[in-house]
Amino acid sequence: MSRAPVVRAVTALAVIATSLLIALTMTPRLGLDLRGGTQIVLETRDSPTAKADAEATDRTLEVLRRRADALGVADAPLTRSGERRIIVELPGVQDPARAAEVIGKTAQLTFHPVQGMADESTKAGNGEQVIPDEDGVKLLVGPARLTGNGVSGAEAGTDPQQGGGWFVTLDLRDEGRQAWAKLTGEAACNPVGDPRRRVAIVLDSKVLISPQVNEGVACRVGLPGSSTQITGSFTVEEAQDLAALIKGGSLPVPVEIVEQRTVGPTLGAAAITASAQAAVIGVVLTALFIMLTYRLAGMIATIALVCYALISYAALVALGATLTLPGLAGFVLAIGMAVDANVLVFERAREEYAAGPRLRPALEKGFRNAWSAVADSNITTLLAAGLLFFLASGPVRGFGVTLSIGVIASLITAMVITRVIAQWAVTLPAVAGRPRITGLADIGRVRRWLTAHGPDLMRRRARYFVVTGALVATALAGVVVRGIDFGVEFTGGRLTEYSTSVPMTADTARELVSGAGFPNAIVQSSDGAVSVRTGRIDAAEAARIEAALESRGGQVTKQRDELIGPSLGEELRRNALIALGVALAAQLAYLAFRFRWTFGLATVLALVADAAIVVGAFAWLGKPVDGVFLASMLTVIGYSVNDKVVVFDRVRELWGARRRTPFAEVVNTAVLQTVPRTVNTGLGALFILAALAVLGGDSLTDFAVALLIGIVTGTLSSALVAAPLAIEFERRGTAPPPRPRQGQARRPREGSGAVV
């Protein structure tokens, strides 16, 4: 007896048990777009004294980590991206202006003696400077006597016995203690109320505070000791921010904010709820459809789907992957796509059973013969997911991770778990005696009709090319006439979304935003939500827009805030084009290697048509082309290639077995034989996407719409564009047909086989 079924069964049980343990004992790491918070992307810049290389960026990251901790965000995720970028995530922080103010300051901290008051006629001497104090009054300050290097720490505190006012305590190092005592001792020699009795604490050429030395401090003695206290009319936030900046220290190199995203917690919770509802509805509909089509085999596939969801979730948690909103959509979508491998196996098993009505051998041959198509189609999807991970950024990268995990998990569930359960089920006497209940003993209505009628789809190749050309021309006309609405990720600028307690029309909101000084802003409104897209504006200007909306909208709550710098927008746009180009080239190279160059070229040309139709549809519909759209486009490419691989895998198999048959007839037969799989797989994915389109928010709806268009066009282009193109290319090719697959022929047994 072969040990392979036992090994597969043990492996399946081990994988399921491990996944269940991880799912019950570990919690997922949610991205900021799901749990709320602020993400800031900083880029280090060269300074006159330091180069912004990887080492300087790492030192900068450590300073930023201390500042994030001082903001009250313990264990805030900070990572270096490339050589110069730092990604800072601040969960729960909903005030991006304050976060950016504290995180992004260069923080060159210095302590200066005050030489006196200044006016327009005051001229600064050597090392002196004229700067306004915290109240806006100009001061003449002398050269710095102490820098932030002499300060070891700072902490905000309050003393209820002294009235509850907030203060900041400075902890000084040895060299700092001596310099501070000398600085305050010199200031104490001036009378009380004299400006020269003050000490200016300056951060990045801005006076944080200029306290007066206490009247009890003796001249030339100063404030000795390892700590000192700065008092004033601080609020709790002002005291904490001042302590954070002093404690964090100076950044080794300057930094610039190139991207900033803020998501409110209610928006993240709504996204999770919508995705969960879409997942439940989509999976239930998919399961019902599969069980109705394949009966017992469909029930086994449904069990495998549940296992697939468990394994994917456990893998995400175990790897510490961040689950973002596009990633959540990818997880839901991958459930629908996971049906594909099961459908491929069951359709091949139906064919084998029709050729020889024995249930178990038919199932075995179904798994064996479907393997090449399953492997090739999943590898092409992994290529698209890998490009998303390496070339995309932010939440879209999370989609690439989720999709990759989903593809690998679908292979495990289809080729191991489904196989183990199905092989066990067909050995049961109740099943073996009634093969029709398995769903494999009947080829199905679609295949039966196609077999009886045998339509010659390839006869009208020219007509298909004309229709495809017309669709592509219409799509390109949409790009020319309507233009592409590039999202803020690709153009740079600021996108802010608000919810208002009093609904307002888009015209009203546009009038208010224009009155606030932003006549060129793009304003949209729907269902009590207002989105405002502008050029790159600062936090104060964004606050003016919010105040203007409050005048008519009642209570206004900021739901999302995205700020993208122009350099980053250009880079993301360039990376998107590179990702699409590399995706097409990678698919062509892989298919040329695995099949024939004619098949690869036909596939890529059909993919170009698919992509053009989706982009054109978005142009005509006026929908934004952003990072989520990029994720959907690469998914369409992966799914479309998946479908074409199945068709050409069957073409290769049939052509090798029928080398003298005209190639057009072989292709037509292959297309007809794969139609049932195409229809069943497409419907499984469409159930999920329809649920996402109806229940998801704006971004998920656009994601689902792009995939719905792409899957329909990709499925049709496999049979009506890629296959006819392959026929035309092969007419001009000189390569011989592929060799037939070599089966493992058994050696005939001699005698009874008995041994004495």
Residue that terminates a domain, selected from 227, 250, 273 = 250
The whole-angstrom separation of Cα 593 and Cα 639 is: 19
Q: Does residue 476 sit in the same domain as residue 346?
A: yes
The number of angstroms, rounded, from the C-alpha of 19 to the middle of its chain's C-alpha atoms is 24
Across the strands, what pairs with 529? 499, 526
**Same domain for 145 and 179:** yes
Q: Which of 33, 43, 37, 36 is nearest to 569 (CA)?
A: 43
Q: Is residue 749 part of a domain?
A: no
Adjacent-strand bridge partners of 157: 167
**Which amino acid is it at 375?**
A
Check whether residue 221 and residue 270 sit in a common domain: no
Residue 305: C-alpha distances to residues 131, 368, 684 (Å): 67, 20, 12
Do 96 and 235 share a domain, yes or no? no
217 in the same domain as 359: no
User: Is the domain of 321 the same as that of 362?
Assistant: yes
56 with 147, same domain?
no
CATH of the domain at 502: 3.30.70.3400
Residue reference for tokens 């990376």: 575
Show the domain range for 76: 37-103
**3-class state of residue 551 by DSSP:** helix
3-state secondary structure 401-463: HHHHHHHHHHHHHHHHHHHHHHHHHHCCHHHHCCHHHHCCCCCCHHHHHHHHHCCCHHHHHHH
Distance, in Å, from the CA atom of 295 to the CA atom of 288, rounded to the nearest integer, reads 10
The residues, ordered by sequence, that sit 6+ positions from 220 with a Cβ below 8 Å of its Cβ are 185, 186, 188, 189
Average pLDDT per consecutive 10 residues, the chain (756 residues; last block may be shorter): 76 90 85 73 77 82 72 65 79 67 65 90 86 89 84 79 75 85 91 91 80 88 83 78 70 78 67 73 83 89 87 86 69 70 86 86 88 80 74 63 82 86 88 86 82 87 94 94 82 82 85 87 79 81 87 82 71 72 78 84 91 92 81 78 87 88 92 86 80 72 85 91 93 79 45 35
Q: Helix (H, G, I), strand (E, B), or coil: what is residue 562?
A: strand
Find all residues with CB under 8 Å of 729, minimum gap 6, and list them: 598, 601, 602
Rg for the chain, CA atoms, rounded: 34
The pLDDT assigned to 567 comes to 64
Look up residue 719 and give its amino acid: A
Positive or negative: CA dihedral 422, 427, 430, 432:
positive
Q: Are residues 526 and 605 in the same domain?
A: no
The total of structural domains in the chain comes to 4
Q: What is the pLDDT of residue 472?
A: 95
Among residues 220, 250, 280, the one where a domain terminates is 250
Residue 26 domain flag: no
In a domain, 658, yes or no: yes
Q: Which string of DSSP letters, residue by residue, matches 468-525? A: HHHHHHHHHHHHHHT--EE-HHHH-EEEEEEEESS---HHHHHHHHHHTT-TT-EEEE
CATH number at residue 43: 3.30.70.3220
Give yes or no: residues 315 and 434 share one domain.
yes
Same domain flag for 464 and 540? no
List Cβ neighbours of 559 (8 Å cut-off, separation of 6 or more).
263, 264, 266, 267, 497, 498, 499, 529
The reported pLDDT for the residue numbered 725 is 94
The answer to the question of residue 1 being in a domain is: no
How many C-beta atoms lie closer than 10 Å to residue 448's C-beta? 12
- The answer to whether residue 4 sits within a structural domain is no
For residues 119 and 226, membership in a common domain is answered with yes
638 assigned to some structural domain? yes
113 with 143, same domain?
A: yes
The CATH number of residue 173's host domain is 3.30.1360.200
- 376 belongs to a structural domain: yes
